[in-house]
C-alpha cells in the first residue's frame, strides 16, 4: 500500500482477487456514461486477460482501508517519441467520495509510475460532454489533443473487416 498526502487515503495495485470489485467499478462508470449496455466484462475475463496474460494493470484507491475508486491502465507506445507510455482507460471514484482529491491523487500516482518506467506519455480519453472532468484535467496541466478523434471497430464489424485482406 502506498500512502498519499491525503489523510487515510492509500493506493495499491489490484490483485486477482479484486476482479469482482474492478468489474463493479467498470459497470458503475459505464452507467455514469450511459454505456452500461455495452459492458460484457466478467470477473473471469479479467482474471484471464488482465492478470494471467498481463494485459493491463489497475490501481485501487482506499479510504480507511475501504475501496473508493480505481484507475485501470495499460502500456502504450509512442512512435513519435520512440518510448513506451501509459494509457489510462478508466478512472472512477465513488460519487459520495468525489471532491476530496482522491482522483487527482490516483492520476498523480499514475504519472509517477510513468516517470519511474521512463514513459514518454500518460494519455486518456474524455467524453465531449464530461466538461467537469475535462476542466479538472486542464487545471492539472493536461492538454487536449486537437484534431484527433478516436475511431473504434468492434463486434461484427471487426470480425467482418478482419476477413478483408
Query: Which residues are catalytically annotated?
Result: 137
d(CA 151, CA 40): 20
d(CA 87, CA 96): 26
Q: Which of 114, 139, 95, 101 is nearest to 4 (CA)?
A: 101
Cα distances (angstroms) measured from residue 145 to each of 55, 121, 124, 148? 26, 13, 10, 6
Q: Is 128 in contact with 116 (CB distance < 8 Å)?
A: no
Cell of 96: 459520495
Amino acid at each position: 500500500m502506498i500512502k498519499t498526502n491525503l489523510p487515510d487515503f492509500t493506493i495499491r495495485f489490484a490483485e486477482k482477487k479484486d476482479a469482482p470489485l474492478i468489474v463493479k467499478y467498470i459497470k458503475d462508470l459505464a452507467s455514469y456514461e450511459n454505456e452500461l449496455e455495452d459492458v460484457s466484462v466478467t470477473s473471469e475475463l479479467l482474471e484471464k486477460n488482465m492478470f494471467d496474460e498481463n494485459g493491463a494493470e489497475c490501481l485501487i484507491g482506499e479510504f480507511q482501508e475501504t475501496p473508493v475508486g480505481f484507475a485501470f491502465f495499460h502500456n502504450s507506445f509512442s512512435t513519435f517519441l520512440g518510448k513506451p507510455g501509459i494509457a489510462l482507460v478508466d478512472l472512477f471514484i465513488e460519487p459520495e467520495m468525489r471532491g476530496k482529491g482522491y482522483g487527482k491523487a490516483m492520476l498523480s500516482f499514475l504519472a509517477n509510475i510513468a516517470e519511474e518506467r521512463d514513459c514518454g506519455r500518460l494519455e486518456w480519453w474524455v467524453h465531449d460532454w464530461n466538461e467537469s472532468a475535462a476542466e479538472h484535467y486542464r487545471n492539472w496541466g493536461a492538454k487536449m489533443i486537437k484534431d484527433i478523434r478516436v475511431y473504434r471497430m468492434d463486434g461484427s464489424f471487426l470480425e467482418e473487416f478482419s476477413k478483408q485482406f
